[in-house]
Each structure stands twice: as structure tokens, then as C-alpha cells.
Amino acid sequence: MSHPAVSSARHTVESYFALAEKGVLTPDDRVELLEGVIVAMSPHTPRHAWAITQVAEALRRAIDDRAVLRVQLPLVTGPDSAPEPDVFVAPGRREDYRNRHPTSALLVVEVSDSSLQQDRLTKAAIYAAGAVTEYWIVNLKEEHLEIFRNPDPGSTRYRSTSIARRGERVELISFPGTFVSVAEFLPAE
């Protein structure tokens, strides 16, 4: 189910952030820029919020200080998209993003329940176009992890997709030898 657009006008990343600088958009508005459209984000259910926290904590332990972990903050993936993934891992150090938002990601994770269709279609295409190395969807409905790898920016698709279930561990391809457990992301059975 897609979310309603906040504005019908097409925006660039620059015009979108200008609206924030002018105070037209505030953090309380809970919106993101997807393919030139300012889109409202759904409120967090307790289960969704719990899963975001779980993902962030598991990834923080896994990557330590080898990259930057960001939670629900902008990732500029192109001239007209600045989604705010639930969790993502950006290359470099925190200081690298003091004056700019990341424009690349080693891993993006979306926790999905009511947003599953948008996460699989719209966001997967946006992340592939932005050459995000790896994209995961924590599917709370079916209680598994959907893994998208090997982006093809030209076709806005990932060449490799797979599913990992409770009891499995997944290797972070940008950090060979580093694994996380799928069960950490899912509510207890």
C-alpha cells in the first residue's frame, strides 16, 4: 500500500531540503522525497519500532566503527530522491556527514509491514538506481528477511534476490566474515 503524496509538485533534492531550511517542512512532518514526490511516512506501530531498534543494535554490534550507522535519516540516492531508510550503513566516518547527507550506502534496511509493496517496488528501484550495494526488507508479515544484492543502476533493479528465515545468519557483503542473525530482527515466535 503506497502512502499519499504530501505535494503534487515535482521536487529535486535541493528544493526539498530548501523547504526544510525555510521551515515549510519540519522533522515532525515525517516525509521523504521519492522520485520527485514528497511522500508521507506511516506512523510506527510498536512492532515496527521494536524491529527498527533490533536491526540498528544488531548492525551496530556487527560493523562497530568500520562504517556509519544511520537510523531514519536522509540518504540522497539521486537528483530527485532522498528516502529516509529505517536503518542504513554509509561508508566512512560520522564526521564525513557533518555538512552533507550520505549519497551512497553499503546496506539499507527497511522494516516492512503496511509498506511492503512500496518497499519492494518503489524503494527497491530507488536503491538500485542509487547503486546501494545491498538492500534488506525485514518482512514482518511473513517473518523473514528479503535480500536484494548486485544492483544494476541502469535498469533500477537488483540482479540477485533471496530470502533468509529465522535460524539463518546473513553475511554483510561489504564486510566479509561479518554475520547477523535473522532472528534478531523478528519478534519472538
Q: Which residue has the cell 503534487?
A: 8
**Predicted confidence (pLDDT) per residue in 71-98, tens digit:** 999 999 999 999 999 999 999 999 999 9
How much is the pTM? 0.92
Report yes or no on 9 lying in a domain.
no
Please provide residue 180's backbone torsions phi and psi, each rounded to the nearest 5 degrees.
-130, 150
Residue 5 lies in a domain: no
Asked if residue 10 belongs to a domain, the reply is no
Q: Is the Cβ–Cβ distance between 32 and 80 less than 8 Å?
A: no
Q: Specify if 11 maps to a domain.
A: no
| Domain assignment of residue 1, yes or no | no
Integer-rounded Cα radius of gyration of the chain: 16
pLDDT value for 3? 40
**Domain membership flag for residue 28:** no
In the sheet that holds 157-165, the strands lie side by side as: 68-71, 87-90, 107-112, 134-139, 144-152, 157-165
Please give the residue range of the domain that contains residue 77.
Answer: 42-185
- The domain total for the chain is 1
Identify whether 18 is part of a domain: no
Q: Which pLDDT score, from 0 to 100, does residue 51 have? A: 95
Task: Please give the Cα distance from 122 to 105 (Å, whole number).
Answer: 17
Classified as helix, coil or strand, 18 is helix
Does 113 fall in a domain? yes
Residue 127: count other Cβ atoms within 10 Å of its Cβ.
Answer: 29
For the domain that residue 114 is a member of, what is the CATH number?
A: 3.90.1570.10
Determine the pLDDT at residue 8: 59
pLDDT of residue 1: 33
The residue ranges of the chain whose pLDDT is under 50 are 1-6
